[in-house]
Structure 1
């Protein structure tokens, strides 16, 4: 019922989708063929740009609840896919310096592993269980990125349920906190996947692109990379304001 009400409200009132930024890794790097890495100095500049322009980065849980209360003006969702170890080392301190929060989507079945799904790129370590607990205790929202970073639409029904339900259970047990959000690996989402994630009890879901299933359980996001300085950030924010409606 919650999903239906949210979809109807957005469609009927013309309210825009929330502005959500999509990051992955924040680290010093030499090679980045998948364009998933932002240098820590650039990341600091991006957070400063948000604050200088009257915006504040927050977790998705905070953003969605603020929207329901009509108090989301000036809030931007900050999301970080995959749960890289550099999140604990580089992202959390930067968020704290700028008075921001964020959401990290952790792959529950690969904690302490690496990004083996990116064969052409450098190996990037994922957070350990201790690091996931530490970032949760620091006020970061931990969401699910599934069990194994798989294309969700390729899975059969039982596998799909496991990705949504078992990953949430593992992260709840690890952090001692609720897990409100799901992020679809590769942005791969269709109606069957959305229905499964909704039935699993998630408050929201993050996709990448707008599609026919866009809504509170398939939210489009804006990619942010290392090339995004002030002018590109302004252009992306303006594009969202102009095209963020259904």
Structure 2
């Protein structure tokens, strides 16, 4: 889960483009950031989307002839120039509710997604969130079930720690060791890494690259924008048609340099 400051950063007002008809720049494909799917009533961090709201959001994509896919599929299509109608779907933290609430909806809409898990907290809970509520995290068996369902697994680190400021040994554990543990669980080394809290610096990107990942996600990568600091759009329960449209515009124009 991203911290309050990181979520607010992802929710900055949409910059006004010069022309709504201007084509998207060649910058980055659009990637949506989800966390938990369930009851959003007690949701101090704004990270929980109800199952029916997720269904409506994916339906909104379908009505615009957009298909939600996992990040590996998206980036390969983007490199080949075939990602115009694809949108990346990601779910952070590896909550158990992905298996029971999100997965049936994804299947209904013929979507895939990348789920970033914490192999150091298997079967535990989101203890890093001081305000709660407590949510269960996937076990090894849950992760295998998600993989068998055609979803992609990525690493969210080992224990959900900010990578900036960690010792060299701790940084190695969060990046390389988490990748090795996921490989043991799924049989495949994960391609992607998601920085806890969305916070990234040069040491973090260097560690993720050295660990063998092919991409990494930040929230506001700034000058580090690139394969190991890709941006995403935070999606909340409040996001309906107009807000989704605004967020898509923000992505299309802000990253292409067309926003002022």
Which of these residues, 62, 69, 72, is aligned with residue 61 of structure 1?
Answer: 72
Partner Cα distance (2:40, 2:164) in 1: 32
- Who is 1:81 aligned against? 92
Contact 2:233 2:247 in 1 (8 A): yes
Partner Cα distance (2:152, 2:124) in 1: 20
**Structure showing the higher helix proportion among its residues:** 1
- 1:86-105 correspondence runs (5 A): 86-105=97-116
Higher relative contact order (CA 8 A, sep 6+): 2
With structure 2 as the length reference, what TM-score do the two structures score? Answer: 0.88
Gaps in structure 1 of 5+ consecutive residues: 1-13
Which of these residues, 151, 162, 167, is aligned with residue 156 of structure 1?
Answer: 167
Partner Cα distance (1:235, 1:210) in 2: 20
Which of these residues, 142, 146, 155, is aligned with residue 157 of structure 2?
Answer: 146
Which of these residues, 240, 246, 260, is aligned with residue 235 of structure 1?
Answer: 246
The answer to whether 1:52 aligns with 2:63 is yes
- Who is 1:8 aligned against? none
> SS in structure 1 opposite 2:103?
helix
- Who is 2:138 aligned against? 127
**Pairwise CA RMSD:** 1.0
Which of these residues, 221, 243, 250, is aligned with residue 210 of structure 1?
Answer: 221
Partner Cα distance (1:206, 1:94) in 2: 24
Partner Cα distance (2:254, 2:187) in 1: 38
Structure 1 position 30, deviation (Å): 2.5
Partner Cα distance (1:116, 1:193) in 2: 23
Which of these residues, 221, 229, 233, is aligned with residue 222 of structure 1?
Answer: 233
Structure 1 position 230, deviation (Å): 0.7
> SS in structure 1 opposite 2:146?
helix
Partner Cα distance (2:80, 2:184) in 1: 29
Partner Cα distance (1:80, 1:71) in 2: 23
Partner Cα distance (1:29, 1:230) in 2: 18
1:51-90 Cα offsets, whole Å, 9 max, x none, are 1011111101111111111111111110100000000001
Partner Cα distance (2:184, 2:162) in 1: 25
Which of these residues, 186, 190, 210, is aligned with residue 199 of structure 1?
Answer: 210
Structure 1 position 16, deviation (Å): 1.6
> SS in structure 2 opposite 1:21?
strand
Alignment coverage as a number of residue pairs: 233
1:126-176 Cα offsets, whole Å, 9 max, x none, are 111111100001000000000000000020112111111000000011011
> SS in structure 2 opposite 1:225?
coil
Partner Cα distance (1:29, 1:23) in 2: 13
With structure 1 as the length reference, what TM-score do the two structures score? Answer: 0.92
Partner Cα distance (2:69, 2:255) in 1: 19
**Moved beyond 2 Å, runs of 4+:** none
